Amino acid sequence: MRILIIEDEKKLAGFIRRALREDGHAADYCHDGTEGAAMALGVNYDAIILDLQLPGRDGMSILREIREKKKSTAVLILTARDTVKDRVLGLNEGADDYLVKPFALDELRARVRAIFRRGSGTPATVLKYSDLTMKLIDRVVLRGNREITLTHREFSLLEYFLRNPGAVLSRTSIAEHVWDYDFDWGSNVVDVFVNQLRKKTEEHSEPRLIHTVRGVGYVLREADRANP
């Protein structure tokens, strides 16, 4: 999943970004409220981690604009404001969760996972399609009983497919959710990673699950109806 971190403490933002990338997420960050608002409203993020006290523009006004423009992006407030009044205000304005500084990175990661579970309507920590199983917390992927070793990026790519079974995903949509601002839009990196994922999931001649929809992108489904 692709996450935006709007946090003016550069060292903290770097720690958070590194932790999220270790979990397989694509993560962008910025340190200014004005820039953060533009990114939050201009890019299709799956979640935003938002500090409230920011230079340029405060986080609460960013949250209000996100909700006013009917963006359903999950927002986790991350702030030193720890009164009940502050927490109630943030949640009433549309935040999905509220975490007070200082905090443990493991708790932040757990809260991000919880936000995604709630957003997908899936309470479990396991994603499954056909004989393909992904255990999100343990970061284990199985095809039947066979364990598959994936890189962080491959894991994130497969997670995106598993969260959208049967949906035709364009290359642009995949890039927006799985890669961050470092993505080279002129490259064929999406196709390269999909092919790598196919090789690993079909290594023992298992039936193909990730199919090409010619001229559009890819779809996760059992029967190849993409190219009749």
pLDDT tens-place string over residues 124-151: 578 899 999 998 878 899 999 999 999 9
Task: Please tell me the predicted confidence (pLDDT) of residue 140.
Answer: 92
Confidence of residue 185 (pLDDT cuts 50, 70, 90): low
Which amino acid makes up residue 9?
A: E
**Enclosing H/E stretch for 78:** strand 74-79
Q: How many Cα atoms within 13 Å fall on the side-chain side of residue 28?
A: 24
Phi-psi region of 56 (alpha: psi -120 to 50; beta: other; left: phi over 0): left
29-33, 147-151, 175-179: segment of lowest average pLDDT: 175-179
pLDDT tens-place string over residues 150-163: 998 899 899 999 98
Distance set, CA 92 to CA 60, 74, 120, 140, 144 (Å): 11, 14, 21, 37, 44
Of the two residues 192 and 117, the one the predictor is more confident about is: 192
State the DSSP string of 106-173: HHHHHHHHHHHHHHHT--SSEEEETTEEEETTTTEEEETTEEE---HHHHHHHHHHHHSTT--EEHHH
Where do the structural domains in the chain lie, given as residue ranges? 2-120, 126-220
Of the two residues 115 and 122, the one the predictor is more confident about is: 115
**CATH number, span 126-220:** 1.10.10.10
Phi and psi at 127, nearest 5°, equal -110, 140
Angstrom distance (rounded) from CA 118 to CA 112? 10
- How would CATH label the architecture of 2-120? 3-Layer(aba) Sandwich (3.40)
Q: Is the pLDDT of residue 60 over 90?
A: yes
User: Which of 113, 115, 106, 118 is CA-nearest to residue 134?
Assistant: 113
